[in-house]
Structure 1
Amino acid sequence: MNELDSSSGIPLYRQIKDILRHEIIDGSADPQTPITEAQLLDRFDVSRAPIRQALKELSVEGFVYRKQGKGTFPVPGSRVHRPVTVRSGALYQFLADTGLDPESTVTGVERVVPPTRIAQNLDLSKGEELLHFTRVISVEGAPLVEADVYIRAPKEFIPTGGALEERGSAFELLERQFGITLERAEHEAWATAASPRQAETFGVPEGSPLLVIETLFFATGGLPAGWRTAVHRADEFKYHFITGA
């Protein structure tokens, strides 16, 4: 039976990509077995062009990788493979686009004077307040990421927790309401062990490995615009990087 629907209006490469992506996510694709063009040509009965485009996009999104001289393999071990090309602050939408049906819970929305280290990194004046909130992103009911967020924004910018949950990114709301856009972001990442509180949040044993990523956001023009400390379950989350030789 043909797995593709040529009458759907969806490009063939997109249909192939979606089929392969779901197989990788649900674990039915063997990470030790290469995904070859010949195999896919025989399976889908299409030309090489949509096959190559599907594999290219899966590679960019971090679902497959190439081994020199051996072929293309599924990325094993986690449901989320975030490429560095994903726009900062857009993780929720990325997860939704990859079919993982994320849920966002936002708490503690308020204006506060941030800790000294964050104030220094953002070059704040003494006593300057930022919008602060905590966001937990879950997949299939299991917490995946907990983010502690501080945003430099006009005092009139007071989104509700519900609005932040619905949009998935506070920066999208900030851009829509005030025209403030992000220009770039700087990241630092390291491994840590789950504290008792983090173990409870993520439902993992105390001391389990976690991935911490701190991000300093800059608005257009170079003004420091925000700070985020995001803690990820290391067994469910990987970053995919492509660098020069």
Structure 2
Amino acid sequence: MTATPPDHPRSKGGSARGRQVSARRVRDLISASIRDGYIAPDAPLAEEDLMELFDTSRGSVRAALTQLSETGFVERRRRVGTRVTHLGVVIPLTDILTDSEHVYLETLEQRVVPNFPLVRERLRIQDPTVRLIETRFVCDDETLGLRTAYFSTRYDSHPDFLSGPASMASVLHDFFGATPGEVLVSIGSDAADVHTARVLGISENAPLISREMTYYDVDGEPIQTVFDRFRGDRVRLETVASAM
């Protein structure tokens, strides 16, 4: 086989005609185009149309649609075609201004537990115990995520304050009596354990988006630290940041 010259387009992931040949890239373009309205979400996804739209091969389109079907984004049916089945839910990265019309929090469990070094450091408290409240994120009767929150026992409001529209601005104000300040965020990935899988209605070891956050008030005092797990096939985390 003749080696591809270093300056040939294929050596940079393209083709001799500059076409999209990566199924991963085509998959990204299809899903983003649907979410942003460039492709109608209720329109059939014809291979020929996608090939023309993204100037790509039939093989790349088919591979991309197969990948999207494996995540539940589209459904492929023989002699029927391919259609979008689930657009997913966008959740702001820090939850401060979540779409309260669609995403809700429901309290599952609350208790007082022994304090431990991680929470002592994050919340700057030496109390022997802390409050733990576990809630789930719900949209259209589907559970999208699970949150475990730790905070000082001096906040003794009823956990019903944490149920309802998922806006941390209102939670910090109504439950903690605080004005929102900075949020320290860490994003990663995880696999569902037995408990999380049962709550989210997914299989054990299914891929999850993990998020850890510590919320501060406007004076820089830590309020609570949380551990979130979201369904990787249903949730996207978004934010707007300045490059300045």
TM-score range, shorter chain: 0.5 to 0.7
2:172–2:180 CA contact under 8 A, matched in 1: no
2:183–2:214 CA contact under 8 A, matched in 1: yes
TM-score (normalizing by structure 2): 0.58
In the alignment, what sits opposite 2:199?
A: 201
Change (3 A) 1:183 1:209: same
1:154 CA drift (Å) = 3.3
State the number of aligned residues. 174
1:132 CA drift (Å) = 2.3
The whole-number CA distance in structure 2 between the counterparts of 1:192 and 1:118 is 21
The whole-number CA distance in structure 2 between the counterparts of 1:177 and 1:190 is 28
TM-score (normalizing by structure 1): 0.57
Change (3 A) 1:170 1:21: closer
In the alignment, what sits opposite 2:230?
A: 232
Change (3 A) 1:173 1:242: closer
The whole-number CA distance in structure 2 between the counterparts of 1:167 and 1:240 is 18
Change (3 A) 1:144 1:173: closer
1:152 CA drift (Å) = 3.6
The whole-number CA distance in structure 2 between the counterparts of 1:195 and 1:177 is 30
In the alignment, what sits opposite 1:159?
A: 158
In the alignment, structure 1 residue 79 sits paired with structure 2 residue 77: no
The whole-number CA distance in structure 1 between the counterparts of 2:152 and 2:43 is 44
The whole-number CA distance in structure 2 between the counterparts of 1:177 and 1:193 is 31
Change (3 A) 1:181 1:24: farther
Change (3 A) 1:24 1:175: farther
In the alignment, what sits opposite 1:28?
A: 42
1:25–1:79 CA contact under 8 A, matched in 2: no
1:193 CA drift (Å) = 1.2
Structure 2: state its 5+ residue gaps.
Answer: 1-33, 54-84
In the alignment, what sits opposite 2:110?
A: 109
In the alignment, what sits opposite 1:52?
A: none
In the alignment, what sits opposite 2:125?
A: 124
Change (3 A) 1:236 1:167: closer
1:104 CA drift (Å) = 3.0
1:175 CA drift (Å) = 2.1
1:151 maps to a residue whose letter is F
SS state at 1:125 partner: coil
In the alignment, what sits opposite 1:220?
A: 218
**RMSD of aligned C-alpha atoms?**
3.6
The whole-number CA distance in structure 1 between the counterparts of 2:228 and 2:209 is 8
The whole-number CA distance in structure 1 between the counterparts of 2:197 and 2:105 is 19
Percent identity between the two aligned chains:
16
Which has the greater radius of gyration? 2
